[in-house]
Amino acid sequence: MKPQEVLNLCKEKGVKCVDFKFMDFPGQWQHFTVPISQLSEESFEGGFGFDGSSIRGWQSIHQSDMLVMPDPETAMIDPFASIPTLSLVCNIVDPITKEKYTRDPRNCALKCEAYLKSTGIADVSYFGPELEFFIFDDIRFDQSCNYGFYYIDSVEGRWNSGRDERPNLGYKPRYKEGYFPVPPTDSLNDLRSEMMLTLIECGIPAEAQHHEVATAGQGEIDIRYDSLTHIADKCLLFKYIVKNTAKKYQKTVTFMPKPLFGDNGSGMHVHISLWKKDRNLFAGNGYAGLSETALFFIGGLLKHAATVLAFTSPTTNSYKRLVPGYEAPVNLAYSQRNRSAAIRIPMYSADPRTKRIEFRPPDPSCNFYYAFSAMLMAGLDGIMNKIDPGKPLDKNIYDLPPEEGKAVPKVPGSLEEALCALETDHEFLLKGDVFTEDVIQTWIDYKTENEVDALRLRPHPYEFGLYYDI
C-alpha cells in the first residue's frame, strides 16, 4: 500500500485517529496517537517526533529527540479502538542525520534481509512461528522487601476440581492432557476462534487454533509463514489481538514461557526455509529430504545456539521451561519427526515446497525482530562456512543410556549462560552491520541489570520452605 492509498483508506473508513506503533529494545510494542488531520503524504517522509529517552534501552536524555517513520505497507484499521483508528508500524530514525536508529529492532530485521540478498545465497527467508499462550481468569503478583508472591487462577485449572463453583461442572483439563479434548472440557474454543477470525480480518492468515497441552487455558493459533520483517510485524499484531480479544471477556493472556509449576510451558517453535527465484533451497536428496544448504544451515544454528538463545529465549523465566528431563527441546541435535531434538525436520508432506526445519527452543517472550535475525545469521554462517551438523539423532533422547545422553550438547541452563555465550560468540551477528557491537553490549547490559541481577537479589518464596528452619 502506498501513502496515497493509505489516505484513501482513511477516507473510506472514516478514520479519525492515527496510531503509530514501534518496538522498544526488550521487545514490547509502544505507541502514540495523532488526529487524522496530522497525516499527509509528506508524513511518510518527514515522520513524527517523540522522546526516545523514555523508551527502555534507548537514548540518553541529552540525545532524546527521535522520529517515527510510518511504513505504509503496515496500514490497517485497529479492530479494538472505539474511535475509527488507523494503525501504522514505524521505523525509527535520527531527526538530524535521518539515519535509521541502530537500536530499533525493526531496523535490525530489515538489515538482516538486505544482508541475505547481498550474500547471493537466497532472495528471501521464510519464518513460520507457532506462538503458545495461556488464557487466565485472574493474575495477582507483587514483591517488596518483606514479601513476594504470585497467584494465578483459571476456571479451567485442574486445581479447581474441588472448588465450590455453584455448580462446579468438573470439565477441567487434566495436567498435561489439554491437547486437545472437545468442549465442554475445552471451554475456550469460541474465544480462540474469535481471536483467529480477528487475525484474519487484520491481514494475518491463520490456519488453525486449538487447546495446548497444559491445563488452565493454554492455547495456540497457527499463522502462515512470511518473510522475516513481515512475520515479526505480524507476531506483534498477533499478541495485540489475542490480548485485547481476551480482555473483552474479562480474561487475561500471557506469553510468559513458564507461568505454571508442574505443567507444560509456552514455546514458540519456528519453521525456517530459504528461497531463491521461487525455489526452496532446503529441499534436496539428503537426510529427511534436505539439501546440503539446509544441513549447513542446521550446522550453523547448532554451533551458535547458545548465542541465539540470548535473543530467542531471552528471559530468566525461559529457562524454567528449558529444563533437561521434562521433554523440553534442550538437546542440541537435529532429527526428522523427533520432537525431543532442538531442531526437527517436519515430515508431514513429500512436496519439496514445504521442506523446512523447525527450531524448537524459542519462546514468545522474545523480541521477534532480534530473534528471527539471530536465527538467520547463525544459519547463514553455517552455509558460508560449510559447518557440518554431525549425525542426526533419531532415537528418543530421553531413553538414551546416561553416557550417550551426556554426550549430546545442551542449550544454556540460564539466561546468564546465554548472555555469556553472546559476549564471546557474536562475530557472525556483526556481518553486514545487521547487529552492532552497541546493540549486543546494550542487550547484555540491560538483561543483566534488569533481569538476571534483579532476580538474583530477591529471595524466592520456595526458598522459605527449603531453608527457613535451618
Q: Which of 104, 220, 226, 363 is catalytic?
A: 220
Is 451 considered catalytic here? no
Residue 273: closest CA among 293, 303, 287, 302: 293
Residue 150: closest CA among 432, 466, 392, 462: 462
Is 339 considered catalytic here? yes
Q: Which of 212, 233, 263, 381 is catalytic?
A: 212
Is 132 considered catalytic here? yes
Helical ranges in 120-251 per DSSP H: 189-201, 228-248
> Between the CA of residue 78 and those of 81, 87, 221, 368, what are the distances in Å?
6, 6, 20, 21
Beta-carbon count within 10 A of 385 CB = 13
As a residue count, the chain comes to 470
Q: 69 forms bridges with which residues in the sheet?
A: 91
Is 456 considered catalytic here? no
Is 358 considered catalytic here? yes
Q: Which of 103, 211, 321, 360 is catalytic?
A: 360
Residue 423: closest CA among 455, 456, 445, 451: 445
Q: Which of 279, 339, 353, 458 is catalytic?
A: 339
d(CA 75, CA 368) in angstroms, rounded, equals 19
Sign of the C-alpha dihedral computed for residues 304, 308, 314 and 318 taken in this order: negative
Is 403 considered catalytic here? no
Q: Which of 51, 438, 445, 463 is catalytic?
A: 51
Q: Which of 104, 130, 186, 381 is catalytic?
A: 130
Q: Which of 71, 104, 113, 132 is catalytic?
A: 132
Is 51 considered catalytic here? yes
Is 71 considered catalytic here? no
Is 24 considered catalytic here? no
Residues 6+ apart with CB under 8 A from 405: 397, 398
Q: Which three cell numbers stand for residue 22?
A: 514501534
Q: Which of 233, 263, 358, 451 is catalytic?
A: 358
For the annotated catalytic residues, the residue numbers are 51, 130, 132, 212, 220, 269, 339, 358, 360
